[in-house]
Structure 1
Amino acid sequence: MGVSQPTGYFELLIIGRFLSGVNAGVSLCVQPLYLGEIAPREFRGGMSMGTAIFLTGGLLIGQVIGLQELLGRAEHWPLLLSTTCIPAVLQLLTLPWFPESPRYLLMDKGDATACTKALKQLHGGDDYHKEMEDMEKERINTLGVQAKKPWELFSDRSIRWQLITAILINCAQQLNGINAIYFYASYIFRQAGIPEDKLLYATVGTGACECLTALTCGFLIDSLGRRVLIIGGYTLMAVWCICVTVTVTLQELSPWVPYLSMACVFAFVFSFGLGPGGVTNILTVELFTQTTRPAALAIGGAVNWLSFFFIGMVFPFLVNGLQQYCFLVFLVICILVVLYIFFIVPETKNKTFLEIHEEFLSRNLSKKNRSEGTNDLGANVLSIPR
């Protein structure tokens, strides 16, 4: 991307964007998977939040170095785009020193020696036995079961609710209104009287807000749990959807209303970062065992990116048709997600992957038994002579 202007080949810019997109798609699936598998059970939430924390941190850095005072001028765009090589080079230098996932080594490769070595490197010489015991139980439970391909998950009834949950929360992460709030932010800041040349600084403020809330979520997730944060986040987002709709509609009512709209924007971003922004990836990792987790993350990642593409295509028409009332659509989505998680998804904090799987399995079996019991009762009623 950096040499596309000096050479005069715009195709290099397209190729660079394509390769960056490939890396983003792969890493956003593999990184939560790796962090979730190497983390001790009691710190799994906080470590897995690293994905969201550094993702929002990277977005914030991009917003900052894109300011006019730094690399935001037209003549500096090749240098700005070239900065993506910095994290790439750092990872190429450091990742070879990282151990392979111990769960992958034990359950997929059957290499107990390499697994123990990786655990000692990650947890220390004396602190790995608890994790080894958990992995051994899961390995015994999945003996003879091959790792599944993504399309095979759709026919596996034992993980039906886990798969539905993963698809729903990844879809909702993009369709909950966060992209709409960023779209409306410039309009709201402009109505509040912020000069045109200062709007970028206000946008940087929203990025900083999301980064700070992701960091806060990382500190809270292992104490409060996943359900509290994601339900609380979506509930607050539903409230702010109403507030944004009302305040944007009444912009001309009073000089202080635009400032109230600004507060609602920051509150919406805060609520997203505190719950859905970080917890979604962690839940997707925790709902599955070793044989289904990689395939489930591939499905979740694909759904997430497709939802992002969908909202990018549909949102302009939604805004043109509904204007500020488009937030009422996102309000409905947030409420539906809250209800689904409240009634279907159990708390996963401080539980092994096997315990979470068995909890869902018992839920599936109890529903199946109730259904069969109802059918038997219906059959008995029908068989009574008249």
Structure 2
Amino acid sequence: MVSSSENRKSRLTWPLLAAASVTFVGSSVPAGYNIGVINTPQLIIKEFCNQTVFERYDAALSEYSLDILWSFVVSIYIAGGTLGSFTGCWFADKWGRKGAIFANNFLGLLAAILFVASPAARSVEMLVLARFLVGLSSGLTTSVVPMYMTEIVTLDWRGPMGVLCPLGICFGVLLSQILGLEFILGSTDTWHYLLGLYGILVLVSMAVLPFLPESPKYLFAIKKDEDGCTEALTKLRGLPKSALTTEIAETKAASVREMSEGKWSILRLLKSKSLRWSLILVCAMQGGQQLSGINAVFYYSVPIFKSAGLDTESSQYASIGAGVVNFLVAALATFLTSRFRRRALMLFSCSTVVVCLLSLAVSIYFMDAVPWMSYVSIVAMLSYVFFYGLGLGPIPYFIASELFTVGPRSAGMALGSMANWGANFLVGMTFPSMQSAIGALSFIPFATSTVFLTMLLWKKLPETFGVDPAEVDTISSEEVALQNKSSPA
């Protein structure tokens, strides 16, 4: 049921647009930027690490030791992201949604300064610390930003605003790919500027963020600030209090109902039987997003293009082209999530991703024996990126805001974000070995994982499009079965 306050779909006020822009530019884009920025200048940064260790400790690193150090530099970002996701629940409830976003901005800015200063300081430790801090910042971003954006809009804008975080991440990855080209910032003299350049975006966010309204639902349900809740709603909607009587009453009624449930924590949510399936779905969708192999597909992108006859430089540009497709589909998802049901998008996306992964495995496996299979692999890879972006890419980031009410929402989003980062870490640790052992067949486990996710969503995911989170909890398994029989769109 959509509340009566949801008749202002076309009204996007300046405070809403400012909040969307600030969180997109200052939090989501930097998170994506730091995912992709480390790849292109890899050899240059490894050489810096090698020389620095020799100069400071008079010790020459073997190739194996250098690879271990590099793996630590890369993986410490994911460790920071996992910790940032876990603490996002505490930050979001203790300091507010805006306060948590400001904390992630501060951590990101500090990391940017350390990145830029590390060559002058001749410090590998500074580089590692910066990667950890920016991981913390990114973990807070994926945990808190979708929560903030979906809490300040009406139900019908919840999908498009929730997609802004993954859209920013996609754009950040693409931006890092472009700026990382050798003739731009991916050189020996400029790699540290490349790593810290996102700090400019963070500064813009920190300058504007204090002037944005806090989440009305947080103010009333968590802080019990009725006047602050009303003031925030009037700013966000651009209307006087008299014109928001219904929405204010609905917000307060929902908040009173949730406050009667008491304070929620991660431990309480883990123990809750009534919300168990909601939590399983959130964690499965977040973890399943990474276990679908998105990072593995992009890892293979340059070799796939080279096998089709492109040289190394052209293959890099083609890989950037795949990143463009990823971003454009993420942008398309902002429209799709405002028009189509979550179940339909997720089931369609997961099913087609399975087909693409199997096609990719077969085409790469037979590439040497059958020349035209290289072109099949290109089509399979680009198709994967397209279908992944329709549902599996964006929806897991904000689905917790549609399955949980305000009370358990921060804990639910924190655990979901942890599942995402944890699965990311698992893929990062196992894929290189798996790829060395079985090559192209390493895509089969990703396809298998996505099949299980599809089956789970088919059986248990209720439709959340236009439904108040308080009503989602009452949807039974029988109603989900009826949704399976109804039209998917």
Q: TM-score, normalized by length of structure 1? A: 0.90
Map 1:167-316 → 2, pairs under 5 A: 167-316=283-432
Q: Structure 1 residue 40: deviation in Å?
A: 0.9
C-alpha distance in structure 1 between counterparts of 2:308 and 2:391, whole Å: 28
Unaligned 5+ segments in structure 1 are 367-386
Quick check: 1:28 aligned with 2:28?
A: no
C-alpha root-mean-square deviation of aligned residues, in Å?
Answer: 1.9
C-alpha distance in structure 2 between counterparts of 1:224 and 1:277, whole Å: 15
C-alpha distance in structure 2 between counterparts of 1:165 and 1:39, whole Å: 23
AA in 1 matched with 2:220 = L
> Could you tell me which residue of structure 2 aligns to residue 318 of structure 1?
434
C-alpha distance in structure 2 between counterparts of 1:36 and 1:357, whole Å: 18
Quick check: 1:64 aligned with 2:178?
A: yes
AA in 2 matched with 1:88 = V
Q: Structure 1 residue 284: deviation in Å?
A: 1.7
> Could you tell me which residue of structure 1 aligns to residue 120 of structure 2?
6
AA in 2 matched with 1:78 = H
Q: Structure 1 residue 257: deviation in Å?
A: 2.1
Quick check: 1:118 aligned with 2:229?
A: no
Alpha-carbon spacing, 1:364–1:305, altered in 2? closer, same or farther (3 Å)? farther
Contact 2:221/2:256 (<8 A) preserved: no
> Could you tell me which residue of structure 1 aligns to residue 247 of structure 2?
131
AA in 1 matched with 2:214 = E
AA in 2 matched with 1:157 = K
Q: Deviations over 1:28-59 (max 9, x none)?
A: 11101101111111111011111011111111
Contact 2:460/2:477 (<8 A) preserved: no
Say which is worse superposed, 92-101 or 126-135, in terms of deviation. Answer: 126-135
C-alpha distance in structure 1 between counterparts of 2:133 and 2:371, whole Å: 47
Alpha-carbon spacing, 1:133–1:41, altered in 2? closer, same or farther (3 Å)? farther
Alpha-carbon spacing, 1:60–1:169, altered in 2? closer, same or farther (3 Å)? same
C-alpha distance in structure 2 between counterparts of 1:278 and 1:322, whole Å: 30
AA in 1 matched with 2:238 = G
Decide which of 158, 165, 180 is 1:51's aligned counterpart. 165
Q: Structure 1 residue 325: deviation in Å?
A: 1.3
Say which is worse superposed, 244-253 or 116-125, in terms of deviation. Answer: 244-253
Q: Structure 1 residue 364: deviation in Å?
A: 10
> Could you tell me which residue of structure 2 aligns to residue 335 of structure 1?
451
Quick check: 1:350 aligned with 2:466?
A: yes
> Could you tell me which residue of structure 1 aligns to residue 80 of structure 2?
none
C-alpha distance in structure 1 between counterparts of 2:155 and 2:233, whole Å: 13
Quick check: 1:107 aligned with 2:229?
A: no
C-alpha distance in structure 2 between counterparts of 1:241 and 1:81, whole Å: 32
AA in 1 matched with 2:343 = R
Partner SS, residue 3 of structure 1: helix
- Counting aligned pairs with the same residue, the percent is 29
> Could you tell me which residue of structure 2 aligns to residue 80 of structure 1?
194
Contact 1:71/1:77 (<8 A) preserved: yes
Partner SS, residue 375 of structure 2: helix
AA in 1 matched with 2:124 = F
Q: Structure 1 residue 128: deviation in Å?
A: 4.0
Quick check: 1:42 aligned with 2:156?
A: yes
AA in 2 matched with 1:184 = Y
Q: Deviations over 1:208-260 (max 9, x none)?
A: 11111111011111211211111111111001011112211221344432122
Q: Structure 1 residue 108: deviation in Å?
A: 1.1
Q: Structure 1 residue 87: deviation in Å?
A: 1.4
C-alpha distance in structure 1 between counterparts of 2:228 and 2:184, whole Å: 47
C-alpha distance in structure 2 between counterparts of 1:231 and 1:141, whole Å: 33
> Could you tell me which residue of structure 1 aligns to residue 27 of structure 2?
none
> Could you tell me which residue of structure 2 aligns to residue 92 of structure 1?
206
C-alpha distance in structure 1 between counterparts of 2:223 and 2:332, whole Å: 37
Partner SS, residue 332 of structure 2: helix
Partner SS, residue 393 of structure 2: helix
Q: Structure 1 residue 363: deviation in Å?
A: 4.5
Q: Structure 1 residue 282: deviation in Å?
A: 1.6
C-alpha distance in structure 1 between counterparts of 2:129 and 2:345, whole Å: 39
The structure that has the greater radius of gyration is: 1
Decide which of 99, 121, 140 is 2:256's aligned counterpart. 140
Q: Structure 1 residue 13: deviation in Å?
A: 1.6
Contact 1:103/1:115 (<8 A) preserved: yes
AA in 1 matched with 2:265 = K
C-alpha distance in structure 2 between counterparts of 1:133 and 1:238, whole Å: 45
C-alpha distance in structure 2 between counterparts of 1:54 and 1:167, whole Å: 21
C-alpha distance in structure 1 between counterparts of 2:322 and 2:142, whole Å: 22
